[in-house]
Structure 1
Amino acid sequence: MLALALPSIAHADDGFYPIVADDGTTIANHRVDTSIEAELDKLPSVITVGNPRGSVTVREFYDVNCPYCRKASADIDALLKSNRELRLVLVPFPVLGIPSIQATRVELAVARLASPQTFYKFHRQLDQQRGTIDGNRALAVAKKLGLDPRRVTEVADGDDLADIMKAHLKMGDDLAIQATPGFVIQGVAVVGYPGKAAMTKLIAAVDACGAVICPEK
């Protein structure tokens, strides 16, 4: 399994919104170029779930070994089930070491071999694991979902997957995603998980007025 060097951190836009997390703190965020945001959907091996034509798109950069990503995953799954207008774009973002890179290779293989629905089941089952997830543990989950482990391993070991991971890391760098999870919502990068209530509020605002915070009337 090939290790990747982490990208250098890009400078964020000084513009930000007063987004308050569930614990009362202000969550880090900054504006992003909407043209770059649109390019996210063109990245290789990103997976779109939820309503493909939904009025609100949440793009999530996550690492399989990020505990905050695991917490966010359960909450976002609940939001997908309760909000038929929500579209989620998942961007594997292996920044937490060799085990994450190994597991992400398996993720990318599953994304190539399975339907988005099966990938999402795989994603959710990974997020319900405890401890460090490496390639072997990710492969075990893929096998549990009925995928051929030999075929998954063959794809996961492909040299082309290194380029895909590098593309994801470069995009995160371009967007100044400095922590996981990182979300891009309507021209705003939210760095870190604000909590279910705060995320629900952001999504509702985008649906209502096309911005993460609606202007006061």
Structure 2
Amino acid sequence: MKPLMTAAALAMLLASPAAAFDPANMTETEREAFGEAVRGYIMDNPQVLVEAINAMESRRIEAEAENDKLLVEANSAALFEDGYSWIGGNPEGALTIVEFIDYRCGYCRRSAPELDKVVAEDGDIRLILKEFPILGQESDLASRYAIAVRQIAGGDAYKAAHDRLYELRGGVTIETLGALSADLGLDAQAIVQRMNTEEVSSEIRQNRQLAERMQIMGTPTFVIGPELLRGVPTAGLAAVIETIRAEAG
């Protein structure tokens, strides 16, 4: 019987050329000894395991980021030139930001003031909002209302309604939306009638299909230039925008 492999022998084996190390040719005893030696090395040097896990996580994040860039590129027309989504900021801005929103999403509500501030202060950002109601019936109702407002009364009315929908507390109902229309000086009856039409449903359906293609499952989701950000960046939008611009040269 061959002697059990020691940690020193393991180190020599791992230092040998790759071709010299062939686990398939090990005996059962050697395999058991090799496993014990590896376990012993990790127990004595646990930082190696942490380093390996961190390296794997880093590679995973890099691969996902690269895949997200490919998704943005493949869906660029639907993202940036769909012909129906509201466009704000500077329509000729060099950098485009797309946000997928849900009016019942707390993160969307909290990030909206920061986004508006960044767009206003920057002056070179084209902002596109994608209605993406995913949090239930009230979300769908709110998005249908916002789209109907835009289709009937235009972009300025849409942005005013958009901001007020984020401020709503309590349930979203036809009654609360009617009161909101009155506050904004809009034709409540015309908007309610438009909400369940195919013109409105088509926009929501296309946005959902786009989100499915891009594997977007939550809000807010941002597309900033070539980058896809799934959620609110912890560093803040301004810092992320600065980094993306710097990387673009």
| Structure 2: distance between partners of 1:194 and 1:98 | 28
Name 2:51's counterpart in structure 1.
none
Q: Which residue identity is paired with 1:59?
A: V
Name 2:215's counterpart in structure 1.
176
Where does structure 1 lack aligned partners over 5 or more consecutive residues? 1-11, 18-28
Q: Which residue identity is paired with 1:15?
A: E
Deviations 1:112-162 (A, max 9, x none): 012322211211111122234344433432331111001111111213322
Q: CA 1:203–1:126 in structure 2 vs 1: closer, same or farther (change >3 Å)? A: same
In the alignment, structure 1 residue 15 sits paired with structure 2 residue 54: no
- Identical counterparts, % of pairs: 26
Q: Which residue identity is paired with 1:82?
A: E
Q: Which residue identity is paired with 1:137?
A: T
Contact 1:13 1:30 in 2 (8 A): no
160-169 vs 65-74, which moves further: 160-169
| Structure 2: distance between partners of 1:13 and 1:194 | 16
TM-score by length of 1: 0.78
The secondary structure found in structure 2 opposite 1:16 is helix
Q: CA 1:188–1:138 in structure 2 vs 1: closer, same or farther (change >3 Å)? A: farther
Contact 1:106 1:139 in 2 (8 A): no
CA RMSD of superposed structures (Å) = 2.3
The secondary structure found in structure 2 opposite 1:33 is helix
Q: Which has the higher contact order (CA 8 A, sep 6+)?
A: 1
In the alignment, structure 1 residue 204 sits paired with structure 2 residue 242: yes
Name 1:23's counterpart in structure 2.
none
Q: Which residue identity is paired with 1:86?
A: I
73-82 vs 198-207, which moves further: 198-207
Contact 2:147 2:158 in 1 (8 A): no
Question: Any residues of structure 2 matched to 1:100-111 within 5 Å, and which?
Answer: 100-111=139-150
- Following TM superposition, where does structure 1 have runs of at least 4 consecutive aligned residues deviating by more than 6 angstroms? none
| Structure 1: distance between partners of 2:84 and 2:173 | 19
Which structure has more helix as a fraction of its residues?
A: 2
